[in-house]
Amino acid sequence: MSSEIRREVVFASSPDEVWEALTDADRLAEWFANDVELDPRPGGEGIFRWDDGAERHAVVEEAEAPHRFAFEWADPGEAATTSVQFTLEEVPEGTRLTVVESAPAGPRACMAEWAWAAELQALAGPVRARVR
């Protein structure tokens, strides 16, 4: 059984600017993980590391700039993966970003729900700062 976590936010930025913040390793390190290695092409691999020792390994499933970016990821050595999809849509106010993570039901899904709310709030700073 899996759980779907869905978050949506609108940024006063272009889709290209938001895309860069989602797919460039240096930009991801500004708001998401503390250390990021990422090949943002389909089939590309990524490693996300946080200062608390957490680490997740990813494989990019889709990269359709600047509209859709998706990957599967998991903790090292863990068989169960979760799917993360970012969809960007240009709107009059800027860009609507929708994030959907499909995770196994249980504590991880609850943690992901909270984490995406915090991460998207953190993304607002670097995206706005780059626009000004």
Give domain limits for the chain: 2-24+62-131
Per residue in 80-107, pLDDT (tens digit) is 889 999 999 999 999 999 999 987 666 5
Q: What are phi and psi of 84, to 5 degrees?
A: -120, 130
Q: What six digits make up the tokens of 25?
A: 């390793």
For residue 1, the 8-state DSSP code is -
Topology of domain 2-24+62-131 in CATH is: Alpha-D-Glucose-1,6-Bisphosphate; Chain A, domain 4 (3.30.530)
In the prediction, which pLDDT does 122 show? 79
What per-residue confidence (pLDDT) applies to 132? 34
pLDDT at 129: 45
pLDDT at 131: 42
For residue 96, the model assigns a pLDDT of 95
Calpha distance 72→103 (Å, rounded) = 10
SS3 (DSSP) at 63: strand
> Of 123, 121, 86, whose CA–CA distance to 101 is shortest?
86
Q: Are 88 and 19 in contact (CB under 8 A)?
A: yes
| Most distant CA pair in the chain, distance | 44
Question: Is the preceding omega at residue 66 within 30 degrees of 0, hence cis?
Answer: yes
**For the chain, which ranges sit under pLDDT 50?**
129-132
Q: Are 67 and 73 in contact (CB under 8 A)?
A: no
